[in-house]
């Protein structure tokens, strides 16, 4: 699942979206609320207009309250980039 981050939540410049990979701890599986934490891969802009690159090797932990909304993204095999699905 891809999510848009709240302004100021990312530690890296230009990062506005992430892909949720897994809960950060065992307790986050069953927990509820805004303090749940998830390990996320960073999604950044690519060299193509309106395209995004997924950086699986660049991961960070984000809380639910750092996330603004789900973003539907589609992968294009020809360009190997992600595009926002409208």
- Give the H/E segment covering residue 40: strand 37-45
Q: What's residue 26's pLDDT? A: 87
Q: How many domains does the chain have?
A: 1
Task: Give the whole-angstrom CA distance, residue 81 versus residue 27.
Answer: 33
Q: What's residue 27's pLDDT? A: 86
Domain range enclosing 54: 2-84
Helix, strand or coil, per DSSP, at residue 37: strand
- Give the H/E segment covering residue 3: strand 2-5
CB atoms within 10 A of CB 67: 21
Positions in the chain short of pLDDT 50: none
């Amino acid at each position: 699942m891809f999510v848009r981050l709240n302004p100021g939540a990312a530690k890296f410049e230009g990062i506005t979206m992430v892909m949720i990979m897994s809960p950060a701890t065992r307790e986050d599986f069953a927990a509820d609320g805004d303090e749940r934490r998830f390990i996320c891969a960073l999604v950044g802009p690519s060299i193509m207009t309106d395209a995004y690159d997924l950086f699986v090797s660049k991961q960070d932990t984000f809380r639910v309250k750092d996330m603004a909304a789900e973003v539907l993204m589609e992968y294009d095999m020809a360009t190997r980039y992600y595009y926002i699905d409208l």
